[in-house]
């Protein structure tokens, strides 16, 4: 019993030290401004945040981030691309200062990282094989049909499917969106769950797949699912997060921000929807 208690105390102490070390390494506004460089990560997901063929950061997240960095007097942005599932661990390991992937603000993520106020709002979609041979138009049907549905590792569609009682052995996890087309077209999965914008982008890249027509957004806890995306920071980066929030609030009042939204396929309703929830509300659900 004594040895067990001693081990527990040592384990808790080690966890505290690691937690404090992680926060000590987190980016703060003053340090970033003094260095003149903001390290920003994206997940190569169009239209949220990606690198184009010329190596330039594009997407809603990067375009807004560029404006904010300039407003904060930060002249240089160092871009990093990584799998979506590596974004939060990367922040916690101090590999970058901020994520500009329009990551959905969810309570379980709020326990791990800090979020800015919402920069975007978006609904769901479903990628299926050309002609939609299984006649699928929603996520709910996967709970009883036996059909398999693919998701990207780390994406919040997993929580949606779990809430809808889709069996775990019917969920196929892939590492990135680029694999979705082959996963669906070869029959490894009967559909790919992602945001409507991602599904539309993927459908335009191959004649072997399409976006499911007449798709119905999933209903969880009595409400249609809609996501709110924001910029993400490590715990301990409150000063940087707060400064970004100030500039983001200003920028969202401008026609330039609306132009960025519509330019990447967001509807006027999506842009308007981004004002409907605060991060505090989204984190406390």
Domain boundaries, the chain: 27-122+227-283, 124-224
27 touches 98 (CB < 8 A) = yes
* Percentage of residues in the chain having pLDDT higher than 70: 91
pLDDT at position 223 is 86
Q: Given the structure tokens 């527990």, which residue do they identify? A: 8
pLDDT of res. 23? 52
Fold topology of 124-224: D-Maltodextrin-Binding Protein; domain 2 (3.40.190)
Q: Assess whether pLDDT exceeds 50 at residue 9.
A: no
pLDDT in tens, 33-90: 999 999 999 999 999 999 999 999 999 999 999 999 999 999 999 999 999 999 999 9
- The model carries a pTM of 0.80
- Read off φ and ψ for residue 259, nearest 5 degrees: -65, -40
Q: Residue 111 has what pLDDT?
A: 97
- pLDDT at residue 273 greater than cutoff 50: yes
pLDDT, residue 7, reads 41
- Are 250 and 182 a contacting pair, CB within 8 Å? no
Mean pLDDT for the stretch of residues 6-19: 42
Which residues share a beta bridge with 195?
124
Residue 10 has pLDDT above 80, yes or no: no
Rg of the chain taking only CA atoms, in angstroms: 20
Report which of 174, 177, 175 is spatially closest to residue 188, judged by C-alpha positions. 174
- Please give the class, per CATH, of domain 27-122+227-283: alpha beta
Q: Is 124-224 in the same CATH topology as 27-122+227-283?
A: yes
Cα pseudo-dihedral 272, 275, 281, 285, rounded to 10: 10
The string of pLDDT tens digits covering residues 133-155 is 999 999 999 999 999 999 999 99
- Inter-residue contact 49 to 62 (CB < 8 Å): yes
Q: Give the per-residue pLDDT at 15.
A: 40
Q: Is the pLDDT of residue 196 over 80?
A: yes
What average pLDDT is seen over the chain?
91
Torsion angle, alpha carbons of 221, 227, 232, 236, to 10: -30
Residue 25: the pLDDT is: 66
| 230 CB neighbour count, 10 Å cutoff | 27
CB 251 within 8 A of CB 141: no
**Rounded average pLDDT over 5-21:** 42
Q: For residue 71, what pLDDT is reported?
A: 98
Q: State residue 269's pLDDT score.
A: 82
The DSSP secondary-structure symbol of 168 reads G
Under the banding of pLDDT at 50, 70 and 90, the label for residue 26 is confident
Question: 220: closest CA among 134, 285, 133, 146?
Answer: 285
In the structure, what pLDDT confidence band is assigned to residue 276 with cuts at 50, 70 and 90?
very high
């Amino acid at each position: 019993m004594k040895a067990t208690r001693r081990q527990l105390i040592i384990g808790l102490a080690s966890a505290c030290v690691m937690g404090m070390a992680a926060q000590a390494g987190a980016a703060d506004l003053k340090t970033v401004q003094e260095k003149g460089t903001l390290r920003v990560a994206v997940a190569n997901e169009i239209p949220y945040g990606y690198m184009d063929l010329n190596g330039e950061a594009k997407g809603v997240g990067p375009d807004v981030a560029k404006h904010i960095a300039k407003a904060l007097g930060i002249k240089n942005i160092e871009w990093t691309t990584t799998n979506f599932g590596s974004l939060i661990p990367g922040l916690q390991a101090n590999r970058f200062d901020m994520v500009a992937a329009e990551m959905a603000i969810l309570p379980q993520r709020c326990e791990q990282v800090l979020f800015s106020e919402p920069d975007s709002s978006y609904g769901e979609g479903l990628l299926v094989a050309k002609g939609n041979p299984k006649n699928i138009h929603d996520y709910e049907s996967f709970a009883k049909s036996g059909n398999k549905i693919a998701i990207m590792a780390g994406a919040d569609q997993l929580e949606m499917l779990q809430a809808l009682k889709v069996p775990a052995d019917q969920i196929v996890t892939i590492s990135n969106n680029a694999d979705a087309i082959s996963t669906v077209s070869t029959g490894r999965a009967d559909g790919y769950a992602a945001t409507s914008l991602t599904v539309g982008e993927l459908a335009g890249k191959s004649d072997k797949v399409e976006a499911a027509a007449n798709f119905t957004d999933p209903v969880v806890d009595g409400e249609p699912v809609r996501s709110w995306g924001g910029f993400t920071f490590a715990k301990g980066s409150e000063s940087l997060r707060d400064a970004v929030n100030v500039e983001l609030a200003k920028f969202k009042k401008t026609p330039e921000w609306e132009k960025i939204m519509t330019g990447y396929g967001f509807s006027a309703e999506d842009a308007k929807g981004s004002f409907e929830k605060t991060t505090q509300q989204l984190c406390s659900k």
